[in-house]
């Protein structure tokens, strides 16, 4: 093959997102993965063709995430369905056929997984010239199993180095930190912001120049606005690259049971992203509380989020030294003082309890912090453990957290948005018409008012 006819390298995922968002379009993305190559190709094609600015997703199966490749082999031999795409076990030709004539300059694809043992995954990405993925040494370790944190840091350091090797082939690798989504819920935003920033610094340490930082929608729109602005400010202050963007995740906890509630919550996530200058949104669908969503449900979520984004005006006002920013900054500074290498600093931070995830049962997490949702929907610290926040924790409100209170907080967002769906959708036309589903019946779309504070 001559140089003239050689295939062009895949686009820089981060630069594509930043350019698209800079032109006024929020990039929306599904969390989609299928074990069957034909279904995976159909999902990517449908995402590309949706009425929205999109990027594609290949989400891997749970066996691949934990490194049980023998189980993947058995499942493929026995024609058993997998809950994601087994990229390591499929040969390069199979994945190339999945991507053929779909991935391109106007439609990059990211691989999502959830692994604390990602070396085989990184090798498969390099083999398939897939240059965008996500995760992190903390965020893909503590919530997902019992892999020692030290092992995860080592694995991610080596994997990131290898991934950065794509640069030698003229390919720009992109890594997104999952640190803003720890356990999905009940972790106060300041710690989500801090871990997201620290994992991005970890990626940069091992050669990655194109990064994105995540933040998962929580229980208060106003507090989330503070958090995303805090994350953007810390990135501008501390990241050694200008090729970064913020990605917002639609709520990662217990999702509304009604279609109306799910759409209201997704709409709130889209407004959050646009108003705070985030460039990308990971959507959730009406099926999240019940089952794995279909391709059609994913496309509907993408298009709904895109519509809400187009109706929303950015609000460039930065709240400045907010409680969330001051707490996140204190956490980041305390961790970075522990060691010049961000990986070793993260290990020492968890050893000393400077980072401590509420309600996380991983052996390397102290488990001495607690949190709760206050009467205004804000996530507050009730117990600080050894967090270095004594002077800055404006959100610290000592309070005993009971099991009943914890269960109530875990379902807070679901209750709020399902209740609003019932209250705020005007009934038009006969039951059974196309529209939002509320419980067992269906009601037509009506005028929907945004939840309070949005």
DSSP 43-112: HHHHHHHSSS-B-EEEEBPHHHHTT-HHHHHHHHHTT---SSB-TTTS-HHHHHHHHTTTSBTTB-EEEE
Q: Rounded CA gap, 22 and 239, in Å? A: 20
Residues 49-96: pLDDT tens digits? Answer: 999 999 999 999 999 999 999 999 999 999 999 999 999 999 999 999
pTM more than 0.75: yes
* Burial of residue 338 (number of CB atoms within 10 Å: 0-12, 13-18, 19+): middle
Confidence band for 441, pLDDT divided at 50, 70 and 90: very low
Residue 407 has pLDDT above 60, yes or no: yes
- Range picked from 200-209, 393-402, 427-436 for highest mean pLDDT: 200-209
Average per-residue pLDDT for the chain: 88
Going along the chain from its start, the domains and CATH numbers come out as 8-454 (3.20.20.240)
State both tokens at 346: 């993260």
Q: What per-residue confidence (pLDDT) applies to 391?
A: 62
State both tokens at 333: 């500074």
Residue 46 has pLDDT above 80, yes or no: yes
Strands 210-216 and 27-29: unpaired
């Amino acid at each position: 093959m001559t140089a003239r006819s050689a295939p062009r390298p895949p686009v820089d995922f981060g630069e594509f997102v930043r350019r698209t968002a800079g032109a006024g379009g929020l990039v929306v993305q599904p969390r989609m993965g299928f074990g069957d190559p034909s279904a995976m190709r159909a999902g990517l094609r449908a995402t590309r063709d949706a009425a929205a600015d999109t990027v594609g997703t290949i989400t891997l199966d749970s066996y691949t995430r934990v490194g049980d490749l023998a189980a993947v082999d058995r499942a493929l031999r026995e024609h058993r369905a997998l809950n994601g795409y087994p990229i390591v076990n499929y040969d390069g030709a199979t994945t190339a056929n999945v991507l053929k004539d779909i991935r391109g300059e106007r439609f990059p694809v990211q691989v999502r997984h959830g692994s604390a043992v990602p070396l085989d995954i990184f090798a498969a990405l390099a083999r398939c010239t897939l240059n965008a993925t996500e995760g992190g040494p903390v965020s893909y370790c503590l919530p997902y199993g019992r892999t020692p944190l030290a092992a995860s840091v080592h694995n991610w350091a080596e994997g990131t180095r290898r991934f950065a090797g794509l640069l030698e082939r003229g390919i720009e690798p992109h890594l997104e930190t999952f640190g803003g989504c720890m356990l999905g819920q009940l972790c106060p935003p300041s710690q989500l912001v801090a871990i997201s920033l620290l994992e991005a610094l970890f990626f940069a340490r091992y050669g990655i120049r194109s990064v994105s930082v995540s933040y998962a929608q929580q229980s208060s729109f106003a507090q989330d606005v503070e958090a995303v602005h805090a994350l953007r400010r810390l990135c501008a202050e501390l990241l050694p690259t200008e090729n970064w963007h913020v990605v917002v995740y639609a709520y990662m906890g217990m999702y509304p049971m009604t279609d109306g509630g799910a759409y209201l919550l997704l709409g709130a996530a889209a407004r959050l992203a646009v108003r705070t200058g985030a460039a990308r949104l990971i959507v959730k669908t009406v099926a999240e509380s019940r089952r794995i969503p279909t391709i059609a449900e994913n496309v509907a979520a993408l298009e709904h989020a895109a519509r809400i984004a187009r109706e929303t005006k950015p609000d460039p006002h930065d709240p400045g030294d907010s409680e969330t920013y001051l707490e996140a900054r204190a956490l980041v500074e305390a961790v970075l003082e522990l060691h010049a290498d961000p990986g070793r600093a993260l290990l020492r931070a968890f050893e000393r309890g400077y980072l401590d995830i509420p309600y996380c049962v991983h052996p390397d997490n102290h488990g001495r912090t607690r949190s709760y949702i206050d009467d205004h929907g804000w996530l507050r610290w009730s117990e600080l453990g050894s967090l270095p926040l004594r002077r800055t924790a404006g959100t610290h409100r000592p309070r005993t957290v009971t099991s009943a209170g914890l269960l109530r907080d875990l379902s807070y967002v679901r209750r709020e948005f399902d209740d609003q769906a019932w209250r705020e959708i005007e009934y038009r036309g006969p039951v059974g018409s196309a529209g939002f589903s509320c419980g067992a019946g269906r009601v037509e779309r009506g005028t929907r008012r945004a939840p309070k504070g949005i």
